[in-house]
Structure 1
Amino acid sequence: MSAAQSTAPPTPFLQTLFAFPESPSRDSRAAAMATSMSQVSTGSDVSQQHHHAGPPLQQDVIFNFINNEFCRSSSRTWMKIFDPVTQKFITRVPDSNMTEVTNAVAAADAALTTWATLPPSKRRKLILNLLVVLPQYADRITQCLCAEGGKTLRDAQAEYERGVDSIEAACAASHQMVGDHHINQMSEIHTTLEPVGVCVSITPFNFPFMIPLWSIPFALLSGNTVVLKPSEKTPSAAQILAECFWAAGFPPGVVNIVHGGPSVVDKLLAQPSVGAVSFVGSDIAGERVHDHARATRKRVQAECSAKNHGVVLADADKKKTLYAIAGGAFGSAGQRCMALSVVVLVGEARSWADDIAQLAMTLIVGSGTQPGVDMGPLITKSAKKRVEDVITAAESEGATVLLDGRDYLVPDHPEGNFVGPTILTNVQSYMTCYQEEIFGPVLCCMEVETMEEAIQLINSNRYGNGCTLFTSSPSQAQLFQKAVNVGQVGINVPVLGTVLRTGNKESFLGDHNVSGHGMWQFYTMTKTITTIWH
């Protein structure tokens, strides 16, 4: 069975991607921006370094953000970013050198004492000011997510909203950041929560706006300063985010951003003044970050790969279940850590695979900026090739390709990185398609006789991010959620990555999970003070 081809009309290139809105900042910031305009170089030598007191105006280069200045990198190594739909050039991103990484960390370290001693209410007020600034950048952010990441407009808008939600959640929970106080006849003992220092956030390509905001607000509210290393595949959202922090009035050095690939991560982890590292990405990169951080006595949280299962019982609401599976498996082209990549059909539900395929065939694949499109492209040509190679390997290992998304053609965008919705049946646990995270629109279908067999399958998988049970039986749901060994469980809903993220097994490495109470524990150290007055 072949996936249906999209006939969505072509999308115009987003020429307004880097158009700047009217600054929401004070007059002094407007004056600084005017000064910076006269300093912008129009030359093409990317080895030259320039600093701007305001947002950069040059469109074809991504700038680092160090000590509240937008700095054009002096690196000799640059990477080009292309629209995954049209392959049109968007911008260049530097692989920042050691001097630039050191400067970013030094700026954060220099700002630490003043920021940490600022009353928590004032730190919170600045972060709330970010919520005032962000709406003025919302259109640019969503356009950027569509152009660089290939997202549908609906997904891009949802990412923007979830990023804002993350800021609001951190501010709302800031009252939890308190110590203890004990008094007896002779002594007084109390604890305080102190910042850990300079915190590094390493974030992936698939949610370049939202995921930095999972960690940065918590780190800042805790009195830490931050260096963000965004993905080199989707760097522009971080540059816009830098403008938002600048416009919101954050002091120099509190938030810094350095761009680049794995070498920049290594340079950051080698910095002795870095106290904590937060990472979201693949298991291979996550293990490397975790081990390096541990070796240099840094705190680390690494949210890694996943293989999320959806278990379907025959008593589930069929229509709602089919739509939930299709959305969980193929939303964002499967490029998310909470994608529903395996469906386990139990007993009489084994016949539902054909129904899932029929629904998947109705999904419209194309440019995300076009109305009605359900699924965009993969991030790069290499990502497309890898996903197609996994499908081919599954076929050679004995799986059946029920719905084939390889060689998917979107007529108006033949150069796009498109893979159509793909469904594999007769999948066995030894197959590559089951053992590895695919990170594409591929759903593996497996069949078992009982829910207990499904639970055993989930528990034997090396990943433990999340799973879902579809059923109309509360008693079965109770048994399931108690028995499965994963960090997140959904009942009749695919687990949402925007709520608490509590993965386990090989899906998470480190000290505290990337959400909730664990964030305050991760970003603070407990100090105990004992006092006796004679």
Structure 2
Amino acid sequence: MRNIEHFIGGRSVAGASGRFGDVFNPSTGAVQAKVALASAQELDRAVDNAAQAQRDWARVNPQRRARVMFEFKRLLEANMDSLARLLSSEHGKVLSDARGDIQRGLEVIEFSCGIPHLLKGEHTQGAGPGIDAYSVRQPLGVVAGITPFNFPAMIPMWMFGPAIASGNAFILKPSERDPSVPVRLAELMLEAGLPEGVLNVVHGDKETVDAILKHPQIRAVSFVGSSDIAQAVYAEGARHGKRMQCMGGAKNHGIVLPDADLDQTVADVIGAAYGSAGERCMALPIVVPVGEKTADALREKLLAAIDGLRIGVSEDPQAHYGPVVTAAHKARIEDYIRIGVEEGAELVRDGRGFSLPGHEGGFFLGATLFDRVKPEMKTYREEIFGPVLQIVRADSFEQALELPSRHQYGNGVAIFTRNGDAAREFVDRVEVGMVGINVPIPVPVAYHSFGGWKRSGFGDLNQYGTDSVRFFTRTKVVTQRWPKGGAVTDQSFVIPTMR
């Protein structure tokens, strides 16, 4: 059986803790590999390598660092198909979705190629008599990222691309459920010209995460995961004096006004709700039609679309989505469906019991649809993270607006309408961090920033874009004076001013 090792100091390093995790093939349910789970001592080794490499890497001028990113981008494009197959084999998402995962990460690498421009400081000549002032942005040193299973290529690149381009060394702790692609990305970074030790991949579980949060040489941690864990990670890292950036869960709503193009809306909602088996923090698991007429028409069209979905293995080019990541996660989703029935929601389509011929051991779920879901229900309040779509009927625009605004999560929201005035008012008033207008998954482009509100995000700065440069650097401000001819100025015992 294949062993997945750490990547430290530019080479594979066998696990020394004696602890290993199972990596499944979600399409068959079989264990396909064992991944080493690091101890605190193994993390220390990675941090020592990173700290040593970072000192020299920070001295490389920004343009040359960007050239490594340019070459890494080329290698990603050249290896797209093999990376997608590797990703799908451990996650379960279909190949087209796996390519999208890699492509969205690649776009942040493209942004990182231009980071030298954003590292420029500011300069004021003549801020006072003979005094100039200027600022510079400098890297933090060794930083870390803790990433989830649902985007094993995109989210690591969201983090390590801007961090490394800014002159830091990076410790990546990917999900132990699908760890092979992050290791392959590190190998390609090395091939692109990144010095050994600047990017290290350390596999692990809670023990490894705790060691990262406590390590005195790690200056900042970026995290993506569930909200409860994100909040705990944020608090623990901050307690140890680290700069923290923690993205949590979501329960994104799609508001459907009576004037919406229902055919296009259904096409958008179906893909956003069931794509990647719903295992996206920017999925659209809640649809809110305004008015009973809109709700009835939308439901009828959704049912027809659901009945046309094809569920299959990742290599099936006709499949719309594949299995979920583990048997435990499948059981968790099925439990939420059971709870939804007990709470009194109308189960219109039940995805439990689905079995793919020839892959009966796989972690497959059919598409589930609930109608007449109420805001007080547990299945509405909590993130299910599976192929489950819920219809919450609203009587008015105001009621529809209140639903996402009052929800504990505030990651993303979409509104479907032809009315520009209604869309503008919705954008202005909704209490959510990312908004789509006739766009079902409003993930910002790479030169903006990704981040939610409320319990979807902990910390002041978002992922990627200009916020990432601010997060992974610190500002140093210099005030300088060059006296003429060695003249000595008078003593002064008051605070300096620029008068």
In the superposition, the TM-score normalised over structure 1's length comes to 0.87
Aligned to 1:268: 212
Q: Larger deviation: 156-165 or 428-437?
A: 156-165
Q: Is the CA contact (8 Å cut-off) linking 2:119 and 2:136 kept in structure 1?
A: no
- 1:76 corresponds in structure 2 to 18
Moved more, 409-418 or 522-531: 409-418
1:86 maps to amino acid: T
Does structure 1 conserve the Cα–Cα contact (< 8 Å) formed by 2:348 and 2:369? yes
Describe how 1:62-141 pairs up with structure 2 within 5 A. 62-141=4-83
The aligned counterpart of 2:494 is: none
Alignment of 1:124-203 (within 5 A): 124-184=66-126, 185-203=129-147
Q: Is the 8 A contact 1:488 1:495 kept in 2?
A: no
C-alpha contact (below 8 Å) 1:468/1:494 kept by paired residues: yes
2:29 and 2:327 in contact (8 A); partners too: no
One-letter amino acid matched to 1:148: E
Instruction: Say whether residues 1:504 and 2:453 are aligned partners.
Output: yes
Instruction: Map 1:451-470; keep pairs closer than 5 Å.
Output: 451-470=397-416
**For residues 511 and 310 of structure 1, what CA distance do their matches in structure 2 show?**
26
Please say which of residues 394-403 and 157-166 is displaced more in the overlay: 157-166
Letter in 2 for 1:525: R
- 8 A contact 1:299–1:511 mirrored in 2: no
Measure, in 1, the Cα distance between the counterparts of 2:271 and 2:25: 24
- Quote the Cα distance in structure 1 between the aligned partners of 2:44 and 2:53: 14
The aligned runs of 1:295-444 (5 Å cut-off) are 295-347=239-291, 348-351=293-296, 352-444=298-390
The residue type equivalent to 2:355 in the other structure is L
Q: Offset of 1:246 from its aligned partner?
A: 2.1
**Structure 1's 265 and 143: CA in aligned 2 closer, same or farther, altered over 3 A?**
same
Deviation at 1:516, TM superposition (A): 1.6
SS of 1:405's equivalent in the other structure is coil
Report what 2:496 is aligned to: none
Shift of 1:173: 4.5
Identical-pair percentage: 38
Q: Residue type matched to 2:332 in 1?
A: R
3-state SS, counterpart of residue 61 of structure 1: strand
Q: Which amino acid aligns with 1:390?
A: Y
What residue identity is the alignment partner of 2:10?
N
> Counterparts of 1:283-302 in structure 2 under 5 Å?
283-302=227-246
Give the Å deviation of 1:497: 3.1
In 2, Cα distance between equivalents of 1:76 and 1:70: 16
Matching of residues 24-39 of structure 1 within 5 Å? none
CA contact (8 A) 2:66 2:114 kept: no
> Contact 2:102–2:153 at 8 Å: present in 1 too?
yes
User: Could you say which residue in structure 1 is the equivalent of 2:192?
Assistant: 248
- Which deviations, in whole Å up to 9, do the C-alpha atoms of 1:333-377 show, x marking residues without a partner? 000000001101101311112221221111001112112000101
User: In the aligned structure 1, how far is the partner of 2:385 from the partner of 2:116?
Assistant: 34
In terms of mean alpha carbon deviation, does 473-482 or 407-416 score higher? 407-416
The answer to whether the 8 A contact 1:337-1:497 is kept is no
In the alignment, the residues of structure 2 paired with residue 498 and residue 369 of structure 1 have an alpha-carbon distance, to the nearest angstrom, of 29
Report the CA distance between 1:171 and its aligned residue: 1.4
1:257 matched to 2:206: no
Q: Contact 1:502–1:515 (CA<8 Å) still a contact in 2? A: no
C-alpha distance in 2, partners of 1:190/1:153?
Answer: 49
Aligned-partner Cα distance in 1 for 2:60–2:78: 27
Listed as ranges, the gaps of 5+ residues in structure 1 are 1-58
Note the C-alpha offset of 1:135. Answer: 3.3
**2:376 match: secondary structure:** coil
Q: Which one of the candidate residues 446, 469, 486 is aligned to 1:520?
A: 469
Range with greater deviation from structure 2 (182-191 or 392-401): 182-191
1:164 and 1:75 map into 2 onto residues whose CA distance is 33
Q: CA deviation at 1:176?
A: 2.0
> Could you say which residue in structure 1 is the equivalent of 2:487?
none
> What is the aligned counterpart of 1:448 among 372, 387, 394?
394
**Displacement after TM superposition at 1:161 (Å):** 1.7
1:377 is paired with a residue of what secondary structure?
coil
TM-fit CA distance, 1:69: 1.8
- In the alignment, the residues of structure 1 paired with residue 482 and residue 392 of structure 2 have an alpha-carbon distance, to the nearest angstrom, of 69
Amino acid paired to 1:488: M
- How far the C-alpha of 1:139 sits from its partner, in A, is 2.5
CA distance in 1, matches of 2:122, 2:437: 37
Residue matched to 1:479: 425
The code of the aligned residue for 2:321 comes to M
**2-structure distance, mates of 1:517, 1:246:** 25
Report the residue type matching 1:171 in the other structure.
C
SS where residue 287 of structure 1 aligns? Answer: helix
Measure the CA separation in 2 of the matches of 1:399 and 1:482.
Answer: 31
SS at match of 1:449: coil
SS of alignment partner, residue 232 of structure 1: coil
Supply the distance in 1 between the matched residues of 2:343 and 2:195 (Cα, whole angstroms).
57
Moved over 3 A (4+): none
Calculate the aligned-residue CA RMSD, in Å.
1.2
- 1:52 corresponding residue in structure 2: none
Deviation at 1:243, TM superposition (A): 1.5
Q: Separation in 1 of the partners of 2:366 and 2:97?
A: 17
Mapping 1:201-220, distance limit 5 Å: 201-220=145-164
C-alpha distance in 1, partners of 2:51/2:480?
Answer: 31
- Determine if contact 2:247/2:451 at 8 Å carries over to the other structure: no
User: In the aligned structure 1, how far is the partner of 2:308 from the partner of 2:115?
Assistant: 42
How far apart, in 1, do the equivalents of 2:67 and 2:442 lie?
29
SS at match of 1:340: coil
Aligned length: 476
Could you tell me which residue of structure 2 aligns to residue 41 of structure 1? none
CA distance in 1, matches of 2:92, 2:101: 13
Q: Deviation at 1:498?
A: 5.7
Quote the offset at 1:494 in angstroms.
1.0
Equivalent pair of 1:368/1:374 in contact (CA under 8 Å): no
Inter-partner Cα distance in structure 1 for 2:397 and 2:79: 48
